[in-house]
A and B are shown apart, each in its own frame.
Chain A
Amino acid sequence: MADIDIAHLSRLAQLALDDGERARVLQDLERIIVMVDQMQSIDTGGVAPLAHPLDAGATLRPDQVTEEIDRELYQAGAPATERGFYLVPRVVD
């Protein structure tokens, strides 16, 4: 059976699961990891990993300014802003 530390994983993923949800998710994850573990029987010795389906790198464009940043427009949907800054809870006391 897969060794899943659900408390550690949910902290890495920044999810706060309550006890009931944690138990359900753990049960699902165990099934998923068992399914995924079928991969381990495939011999991939000498096979190069494929990260991009066309084996292409990213296309670069000239390093030129092509648009103006409209901060007011982009921040219009933000939960909390003040004088152009995003507001978050105090980090340092």
Chain B
Amino acid sequence: MDPFAEITRLRRGLDDGEFSSRELAEFYLSRSRQLNPQINGYINLSEDRALAQAAAADARIAAGEAGPVTGIPLAHKDIFCTRGIPTTCASRMLASFVPPYDATVVERLEGAGAVTLGKANLDEFAMGSSNENSYFGAVSNPWDTSRVPGGSSGGSAATVAAGMAPIATGTDTGGSIRQPAAFCGVCGLKPTYGRVSRYGMVAFASSLDQGGVLGRSAADIAMLLAQFAGPDPKDATSHPESDPWLNALREMPDPEQALTPSDGLRVGLPKEYFAHLAEAGHLDEASKLFESWGCTLTEVSLPHTDAAIPAYYVIAGAEASTNLSRYDGVRYGHRCSDPVSLEDLYQRSRTEGFGAEVKRRILTGTYALSVGYFDAYYLQAQKIRRLIQNDFLTAFESVDMILAPTAPGVAFAKDDLTADPVAMYQQDLFTIPASLAGLPAMSVPCGVQDNLPLGMQLIAPHFAERTLLAWSHRFQQATDWHTRHPTLSEAAT
């Protein structure tokens, strides 16, 4: 069995009787048990649930009732609630939390017959760009275990890159799907804000959080996304219109026919992004390919790019300080021992339950929202958010898609940036603007430097995921960056 097979390939194998879903689940579970000590991509493996789901999937396949993802194993970022399985958000606060319900993303995927292998590691409450902020330990980059996998969906990216899962869910607030995808050499899609239900996704910054997918190819991501995207009455911010293209894709056993790109694509290259980039050779190569397919390339300007990180850390901090006020040691989550008063209960439970980065974000947000600072920080940040969105809307009057770097460089070494939070925040320079604007964006492997993967970021107008996926698919038909994978020794564990 090839641990690096795409799920489109696994689909054919299941349908042709080459292997059963149970064999597939057992293969990935076994490989994950062997590799997890060096990668730490999983917080928990849900073996019993996986094997029961695989058996049910095999019965559906035998009865001729299989859908596109029936019997396909996957990992869920441990921020999605899974009924009966611990959902920790990589925090001591939720270390023993067992949700009484499933997230909509989980419910829809499992309803379609997907098999949950386990819960992937992340930065605590999805706050981080290196996956070093996990209560359950840092995740290692499978390409070089002395380096970070990126974050916050570092466990999702690393499990896919290491062949411990063929595909995984993730969430992206300021780059948390795209940056780890780039660092680990996999594809990662952050859909349009509102495309995917946030119900059962532990909240960090509610006006930015969006669920998505990390996988080996654009075709795989399209196949999985179609199963869980769309309106959800349980999330008042989910976009009420369903998308005919995604609805059709939901029924297709092979997404290929839905991924034909339209002609005459106009691609914009944002000059402010390239000005910050020391090495852009991989993007030049990709641009040349787009040109060879008849796309026109033009420079575009996104003039408020440099204001994005400050505005983001105010908005995300403010929303986090509000969202995380629910952790009070009363209803669920960590509770300190022997509290002497209600205030003591709140304060010690929270102080013991949250890690250093989470406390920094809460305090940044508390500062921005406190009396006398609200207008200068929170309101100013929201106005800048409008300017950043306007930059994109103006650019999209003359181009259909933006091609940009995903991250400033390759995966950095562990501990390199942990001492300086502001330096760590700069990692998100190229991913945050699309998040603030609510746009769909995708990272696609497009090169290698020092044997470490590089990604390009494609950004499209609201709800134009089709453009991103179709053109990424086109790119992947002509290149093999996405098929490369790290060499891992199972014996080394």
Chain A residues within CB distance 8 Å of chain B: 4, 6, 8-10, 12-17, 25, 28-29, 31-33, 35-40, 42, 44, 47-54, 56, 58-61, 66, 70, 73-74, 76-80, 86, 88-89, 91
Contact = CB atoms under 8 A, between A and B. Distances in A.
Contacts of A6: 363
Nearest to A61: B233
9 shortest A-B CB distances, which residue pairs?
A53-B438, A49-B382, A79-B335, A44-B383, A16-B347, A50-B386, A58-B236, A47-B383, A50-B385
B359 interface: yes
B100 A9 contact: no
30 contacts: A10-B363, A12-B366, A13-B363, A14-B350, A15-B347, A15-B350, A15-B351, A16-B351, A25-B360, A36-B313, A36-B368, A37-B310, A38-B307, A38-B310, A39-B311, A42-B307, A42-B380, A44-B387, A48-B386, A49-B379, A50-B383, A50-B386, A53-B438, A54-B239, A56-B237, A58-B236, A78-B331, A78-B332, A79-B335, A88-B342
Contact of A39 (B340, B359, B381): B381
Contact of B240 (A48, A59, A76, A89): A59
Interface string B252-290: 000000000000000000000000000000000000000
A9 B368 CA distance: 10
Given A17-B351, A53-B193, A89-B340, A39 B385 contact: no
B420 A31 contact: yes
B387 A14 contact: no
A33 B373 CA distance: 12
A48 B387 CA distance: 9
Interface string B369-390: 0100000110111111111010
Contacts of B420: 31
Given A40-B376, A54-B193, A86-B331, A76 B359 contact: no
A36 B385 contact: no
A89 B339 CA distance: 7
Interface string B218-247: 000000000000000100111110000000
Interface in B428-456: 436-438
A14 B360 contact: no
Interface of B: 96-98, 100, 193-194, 207-208, 233, 236-240, 304, 306-307, 309-311, 313-314, 321, 325, 328-333, 335, 339-348, 350-351, 354, 359-360, 362-364, 366-368, 370, 376-377, 379-387, 389, 420-422, 425, 436-438, 462
B437 A15 contact: no
Contact of A53 (B344, B345, B377, B436): B436
Nearest to A49: B382
Nearest to A57: B236
B100 A70 contact: yes
A2 B367 CA distance: 11
Contacts of A17: 351, 359
Given A25-B360, A88-B330, A9 B344 contact: no
B422 A35 contact: yes
Nearest to A10: B363
B304 A29 contact: no
Given A47-B383, A79-B330, A31 B422 contact: yes
B331 A48 contact: no
Contact of A31 (B333, B387, B421): B421
Given A17-B359, A42-B307, 11 more contacts: A14-B350, A15-B363, A29-B367, A32-B425, A33-B364, A39-B384, A40-B380, A53-B389, A66-B233, A79-B329, A86-B330
Nearest to B372: A3
